[in-house]
Amino acid sequence: MTMPGAEGIRLSNRLDEESVMEKTSESTASRPQFLSTVATVAAAAGAGYLVYRNGESWLRSLLLYLSRAGWARQVVTKFPPAWAVASRFVAGESVDEAIQAVRQLNARGMLATADYLGESVTSAAEANAARDQILYLVERIHAGGVDANVSLKLSQLGLKLDENLAIDNLRAILQQAKRHNLRVRVDMEESALVDTTLDIYRRLRFGEGFDNVGVVIQSCLYRSDEDVRRLVEEGAWVRLVKGAYKEPHTVAYPAKADTDAAFVRQTEMMLSDEARTRGVYLAVATHDDAMIDATQRFARLHEIPPDAYEFQLLYGIRRDRQEQLVAQGHRVRIYVPYGTAWYPYFMRRLAERPANLWFFVSNFFRA
Ligand SMILES: Cc1cc2nc3c(=O)[nH]c(=O)nc-3n(C[C@H](O)[C@H](O)[C@H](O)COP(=O)(O)OP(=O)(O)OC[C@H]3O[C@@H](n4cnc5c(N)ncnc54)[C@H](O)[C@@H]3O)c2cc1C
């Protein structure tokens, strides 16, 4: 089996903070290189602090803006210490590391969904290269005998360039995955792509009969109750998340409490007798104890067996909770991202939890 494209060779796969700090202090960043950016980092930290004082949602907005800024990607990714911190959330840069991480999760009683990182490609060649990497991932999952599905983004397959290109690429991946009895989850991106993403999902699911494709719903969007209603009628395979993108208040709840309430409401809609009878299989994807507890309460109350749904969490986040859920007899799937295009994914994780940002900045200064 040949491997398309260059693969990284990073070996470390440890997840805990201590190991990240250890790796950071072993960093090979040269002093001049480090000093040339201290000012930038200090400015960012200072700005972050000011914004933080003015409210966490400002800080989240700043980080989500930076996740899309090319100049910020240049600054952050050229430093080995940045990777040392990012590797807390990313399994590695190569498919070998991803498969190794999945194997370790499987050994701890967890399932996985592997994600070759990448989004918003700017040429058809890049989109096709991403498709080939994902096809290779499918082969490696099958050949390695590990228990994992695949997650991907349509913008990674060319959606913003040409819808048909993305459809062709997704179709090729679904065909290959079906041969090996693997499922493919289409991640949900910013709100402007939700209609197209659901249309493409339906075209391949019903128009072309691929029963191994699933979608994601973001509870932060006003439209999601309606989307969930329709997906319940269709008996869909759905991952429910709160939503990781910066959205205007015209389309998304400004208050976290409303997003949380919608998450609980939509979980209950998709765990209802009607939904399960129609074939809905729900993945409750969150690290939030309140959401997890609400799901467990509802399942207990309605005597829903633990194998009728699953919890999903991100690699490296709340490992304590991941293990506790397994110990409680739940089906737990970990989202395992890998690849060299880790910057936007990493920034979204920082935006979700300010404590991660301070950890990141302090590691720069330890370099
Ligand atoms: C498996 C999976 C797949 C996802 N797929 C998508 C997708 O396709 N599209 C999309 O828009 N979003 C996706 N997301 C991200 C999601 O939308 C949220 O941004 C993210 O999960 C944070 O929300 P939360 O539910 O964990 O709750 P929050 O309210 O954000 O957090 C609750 C608590 O969880 C912990 N926590 C949350 N995030 C972090 C973190 N980064 N680091 C450390 N602790 C943390 C903290 O203790 C926090 O207090 C996915 C999330 C998961 C788990």
DSSP line for 52-106: HHT-HHHHHHHHHHHHH-HHHHHHHHT-HHHHHHHTTT---SSHHHHHHHHHHHH
Q: Please, which pLDDT band fits residue 50 given cuts at 50, 70 and 90? A: low
Domains defined along the chain, listed by start: 17-87+346-366 (no CATH), 95-341 (3.20.20.220)
Of all atoms in ligand 1, which is nearest to the CA of residue 153? 8
Q: Which of the pair, 67 or 113, is modelled with greater confidence? A: 113
Of all atoms in ligand 1, which is nearest to the CA of residue 285? 53
Q: Whose CA is nearest to atom 30 of ligand 1?
A: 352
Single out the residue of 56, 21, 12 nearest to residue 365, CA to CA: 21
Residues forming beta bridges with residue 337, ordered by sequence position: 115
Q: How close is the Cα of 52 to the center of ligand 1, in Å? A: 20
- Tens digit of pLDDT for each residue in 24-38? 333 434 454 555 455
Q: How close is the Cα of 286 to the center of ligand 1, in Å? A: 5
What is the value of ipTM here, to two decimals? 0.96
Q: How close is the Cα of 287 to the center of ligand 1, in Å? A: 6
Encoding tokens for residue 138? Answer: 């499918």
Q: How close is the Cα of 192 to the center of ligand 1, in Å? A: 20
Asked whether residue 261 carries a pLDDT value surpassing 80, the answer given is: yes
Rg (CA), the chain: 20
- Tens digit of pLDDT for each residue in 308-346? 999 999 999 999 999 999 999 999 999 999 998 888 888
Q: Which residues line ligand 1 (CB under 6 A)?
A: 187-188, 216, 218, 241-245, 285-288, 291, 312-314, 317-318, 335, 349, 352-353, 356
Q: Are 67 and 348 in contact (CB under 8 A)?
A: yes
Of all atoms in ligand 1, which is nearest to the CA of residue 313? 53
d(CA 363, CA 44): 14
d(CA 83, CA 79): 7
Q: Are 138 and 173 in contact (CB under 8 A)?
A: yes
- Tens digit of pLDDT for each residue in 219-235? 999 999 999 999 999 99
- Which residues does the annotation mark as catalytic? 187, 239
What sign does the dihedral 153-158-161-162 (CA atoms) show? negative
Residue 209's region, left for phi above 0, alpha for psi from -120 to 50, else beta, is left
Encoding tokens for residue 184? Answer: 């493919």
Q: Which of 150, 242, 251, 253 to mutate to test the pocket of ligand 1 (most atoms within 8 A of CB)?
A: 242
Q: Whose CA is nearest to atom 8 of ligand 1?
A: 187
Asked whether residue 9 carries a pLDDT value surpassing 50, the answer given is: no
pLDDT value at position 134? 98
Single out the residue of 354, 358, 306, 313 nearest to residue 330, CA to CA: 306
Of all atoms in ligand 1, which is nearest to the CA of residue 242? 17
End-to-end CA, the chain: 39
Q: How close is the Cα of 342 to the center of ligand 1, in Å? A: 16
